[in-house]
Amino acid sequence: MTLFEVILAMALFTTAAVSLVTALNTIGLATLEARNLRAVEQTLEGLIDEHSKAPQIVELEKDIKPGPDGVAYRVVIEPVNNLKNQDGVQLNGLFRIVVSAKWKEDGHPMQLEAETIRYAGMFMPVQ
């Protein structure tokens, strides 16, 4: 085996090793981003549950300051107007609950939003 063949083999090995390390780094970053996104989704679900299951629902605009994770949340509860069912009957007492999250991921602004509609008398005690 000549010196040239050894150098060529080392160059090929180095190229393969660098490619493998780059791929592993990319997989790690993608996993971290997915984990962060899932954590934000779970918090959105929790905030939707918290506000949609309250016995009394009222109009609300609430900002939740960023915590250690750097995610800021906003909760908006507003009445739904001009909504009719398939028979054309006006539906009253409905509220839209919108929860949004804003944060930065690798310097890029990210935003995620979840919403639901709830009937105001849903959790009222039965007499």
Residue 17: pLDDT above 80?
yes
- pLDDT for the residue 83: 85
Contact (CB, 8 A) for 51 and 97 = yes
The pLDDT confidence band at residue 16, using thresholds 50, 70 and 90, is very high
Task: Dump pLDDT digits (tens) for 66-125.
Answer: 989 899 999 999 999 888 889 988 888 899 999 999 999 888 899 999 999 998 877 666
CA atoms within a 13 Å half-sphere pointing along the CA-CB vector of 98: 10
Residue 127: pLDDT above 70?
no
Rounded to an integer, what distance in angstroms lies between the CA atom of residue 14 and that of residue 41?
41
- pLDDT for the residue 8: 92
Residue 126: pLDDT above 70?
no
Is pTM, for the whole model, over 0.85? Answer: no
Taking alpha carbons only, the member of 63, 57, 64 closest to residue 78 is 57
Contact (CB, 8 A) for 91 and 113 = no
Length of the chain: 127
Task: Dump pLDDT digits (tens) for 36-73.
Answer: 999 999 999 999 999 988 888 889 999 999 989 899 99
Q: Where are the domains of the chain?
A: 3-119
